[in-house]
Structures are given as structure tokens and as C-alpha cells.
Amino acid sequence: MTEIEKYVKAAKASIASIDCEMIEKASDLCVESVLSGGTIFFCGNGGSAVDAQHLAGELIGRFRLDREAIPAIAITANAAIVTAIANDYDYSEIFARQLEALGKPGDILIAISTSGRSRNVIKAVEEAQRKSMKIIGFTGSDGGPIAQLVDVAVKAISDETSHVQEALLIAGHAICSAVERACTDTSGAGH
């Protein structure tokens, strides 16, 4: 078996490990929030930060359907805010501080951490709990502490970060598709 074949086989296994029921539950929370006027917030570090921005963009822009914009914010994206908080407080506060300012009861936080152990993501989850937000964890392996703190844990079973990210992006796209369809009222009433 070539290196490419090994890689693809491992990626397929990670994707297959995701529990579709958890994606459905996560989608339901997001739909309920958005239809009630809520916002979906995303956070993560490194590649997960980019995935957070990607998924927020799919909701604000368009995923597969032409429709009204869906409220979504990647709290990873504003370099001035992130660096100011890291400098003035601590790096572990970069997401929690933004949720303190912007989050409200009924909003959603999708907390992405392939290990489930990222301190700044855990602090964001704790702040979201304090704000009575619903929380969806996107994690790998055993889910770490984050999987124990969230309302719904979507886990890709792999210890390889790249495979976890690949699988979680598919889960994120599935959620975007469900939210988009639910928020697209074909009767013309709109969302």
C-alpha cells in the first residue's frame, strides 16, 4: 500500500467514525437558535481557527442555496481583538472575552479542538455556559474535557489531527446544509 493509499484509508476511517445522530442533534440546536434570532459563534486554534472562519462564511454567504444571510461569527478572525486580549489579559481569554461581549442566551458556540484540551476553547465553553448559550464541541479521539462540558459532542475518532480536521469539516458542512435548508422558507415568508 502506498503512502497516499494509507493516508486516504485512515481519513476514511476517521470520517466513518462520526456519529450522524450527534450531527443531527447539533443541527437541531443550531436551527432552533437561528430561527429564534440567535447567532452561531465558532472558535478554534490553528487549522481549527480557519475551519471556524470557513463555516461562518458558509452561513453568512451561501452554502448551497440562495437565501438570506444566517448570523454567524468566527471569533478567531479579528487579529486586533485576539492580540489585544492576549496581550492585555492572557491568550487563554481570547475567545471567552469575546463571548462575554457578544454572546447571549440562546446563541450557539461551536467549539473546535481536535484534542478537546485547548485551554482557550475550554474557557470559551465555560463562558458560553455562563451566558446560557448552547454548546457544540467538535473534537477528536476521546473528546478531552470539552466533550464532557458541551451539550452535543461531535467526535472524529482519530489521534491524527489532519484526519480529525477532515472529518469535522464534513460534519460542519452537514450542519451548514441542515441550517440553510431549515432557514430557507419556500413559501416566501423568509427567515
CATH class of 3-182: alpha beta
pLDDT, tens digit (0-9, with 9 covering 90-100), for 166-180: 999 999 999 999 999
- Give me 188's grid cell: 416566501
Is residue 191's pLDDT more than 90? Answer: no
Under a CB-based contact definition with an 8 Å cutoff, are residues 63 and 130 in contact? no
Is residue 187's pLDDT more than 70? Answer: no
Look at residue 114 and give its three-state secondary structure. Answer: coil
What pLDDT sits at residue 185? 62
pLDDT, tens digit (0-9, with 9 covering 90-100), for 96-151: 999 999 999 999 999 999 999 999 999 999 999 999 999 999 999 899 999 999 99
- Give kind and range of the element (H or E) at residue 137: strand 134-140
What pLDDT sits at residue 127? 98
Percent of the chain whose predicted confidence (pLDDT) is above 90: 93
Percent of the chain whose predicted confidence (pLDDT) is above 70: 96
Is residue 72's pLDDT more than 60? Answer: yes
Helix 161-182 and helix 47-60: axis angle, to 10°? Answer: 10
Q: Global pTM?
A: 0.94
The three-point CA angle 10-13-17 to 5° equals 145
Pairing state between β 134-140 and 108-113:
parallel
Which range among 9-23, 53-67, 127-141, 176-190 shows the weakest confidence by mean pLDDT?
A: 176-190
Under a CB-based contact definition with an 8 Å cutoff, are residues 140 and 159 in contact? yes
